[in-house]
Structure 1
Amino acid sequence: MFKKNMAPRRTQHVGAGPSTEQSYIYKVVLLGSTAVGKSSIAFRYVKNDFRESVPTMGCSFFTQLVCLETATIKLEIWDTAGQEKYHSVCHLYYREANAALLVYDIARKGTFARAKLWLRELEKEFLPDELVIVLVGNKTDLAAEREVTFEEAEEFAKSKSLIYMETSAKSNHQVTEVFMAIAHALLKQEQQKEPALRPQPWKKSRVDLQEPSNQTKKCCVN
């Protein structure tokens, strides 16, 4: 039975004169088998550095600002544990999510099958078209050991209406692009909603979106 998730939090900027720019906060979860590089992807995106995968205990949390032409988006990134013993509690972390990255290792066929199982779990929790889902084939730096072809993964993604991208947290290949694709998809989804169905401004959002000036400058440059 499908369950409806929480609407994104939004606030309109306040300043001199009229403004159409909006601020949104979206929850993004990373799901996948252990050692596929979920933590490395999150760390590379937020810290612009590479860290070898270390098993996540429960869940790790990151935030990052994305500055688009008409909106500022704060991504709350939840990196979930991939070990089987944590599977029963993972639904607590992806509850009320707005987007999900289903990560697998292109050099390990079994992790691709596991990503498909995660998709089934999400389909039980969310309404169709309610969650932006990106299928991510990580570790393109191990292309010589590839067990999942680009064509196979892309075909599956298309059959399920998912975004598909391949990355390498180690070489920093398309990591930022994945999160930018999520930001654009979420904003497009927001803009397509009927005005009456859009959430009311969440007053605390504007306070929560305040970041050190150097971080804000960096996100806007990217």
Structure 2
Amino acid sequence: MSQKETLAKDSLVIKQAKLVFLGESSVGKSSIILRFASNIFQENKEPTVGAAFMTQKCRLEDKIIKFEIWDTAGQERFQSLAQMYYRNAHVAVVVYDVTNMDSFNRAKSWIKELNNQANSNIIIALLGNKIDLSRRQVSTEIAKNYALEFGLLFYEISARKDHGIREVFTKIGTNTLFENLILKREKIIIFF
């Protein structure tokens, strides 16, 4: 094997991707992000004020995606700030609580706002959280049909039980639209 082939074999492409999490207060946005980044779940987590920022790398086959994750506050008083966070985002993850129909209706409003205000290339994922709880008000079928109608990625997860968290980020990272959007940018290559 030539030196060039060895270098190519041992190299990974690193891509950065901006994700913004939107949704009502207490739907679990911070818990999802914390579970993904640190594999931790905190009961009774304090509400996010304004926004929080975290990065997490995810290795997917021949590339590493460095997710730049913005966790926005769900309280209505901070809603006007959200546009500043989803500007230039590659992915908007709109979270609702499957045990709270109002949070699902509010998620629809976020999606409408994103379609009207955000970058036209933004990928929108609809994420139902708290599937471990028994008081479900939003059926999988209703949410999935809504996602299909509007061309959204759709997942249901549990941050508490760590069900589906890593898979969501993996599926986002391997989504064809996402790959096309991210791969258009200049490559950064590292060698091991």
TM interval, short-chain normalised: 0.7 to 0.9
| Residue 129 (structure 2) aligns with | 138
Q: Which protein is richer in strand relative to its size?
A: 2
1 CA distance for matches of 2:165 and 2:112? 25
1 CA distance for matches of 2:179 and 2:81? 33
TM-score, normalised relative to structure 1: 0.76
1 CA distance for matches of 2:124 and 2:28? 17
- Alignment match of 2:89 (pick from 92, 97, 100): 97
Give the aligned residue type for 1:145. Answer: R
- Once the two structures are TM-superposed, the CA of residue 161 in structure 1 deviates from its matched residue by 0.9
Q: Deviations along 1:41-77, whole A, 9 cap, x unmatched?
A: 0001101010133210011111111111121110001
Please list every run of 5 or more consecutive structure 2 residues that lacks an aligned counterpart in the other structure: none
Please list every run of 5 or more consecutive structure 1 residues that lacks an aligned counterpart in the other structure: 1-15, 210-222
Q: Deviations along 1:8-27, whole A, 9 cap, x unmatched?
A: xxxxxxxx525384211000
2 CA distance for matches of 1:40 and 1:156? 24
Taking only the aligned residue pairs, the percentage that are identical comes to 38
- 2:8 matches 1:17: no
- 2:30 matches 1:39: yes
| Residue 3 (structure 1) aligns with | none
- Alignment match of 2:73 (pick from 76, 81, 103): 81
1 CA distance for matches of 2:85 and 2:119? 17
| Residue 63 (structure 1) aligns with | 55
Query: What is the aligned residue count?
Result: 184
| Residue 165 (structure 1) aligns with | 155
**Partner-residue secondary structure (3-state), 1:123:** helix
- Once the two structures are TM-superposed, the CA of residue 94 in structure 1 deviates from its matched residue by 1.1
Q: Aligned-pair RMSD on alpha carbons? A: 2.3
**Partner-residue secondary structure (3-state), 1:140:** coil
- Alignment match of 2:102 (pick from 80, 99, 110): 110
**Partner-residue secondary structure (3-state), 1:17:** helix
Q: Deviations along 1:138-161, whole A, 9 cap, x unmatched?
A: 00111x200000000000000011
Q: Deviations along 1:79-134, whole A, 9 cap, x unmatched?
A: 00000000011111111100011100000000000000000111122354x11211
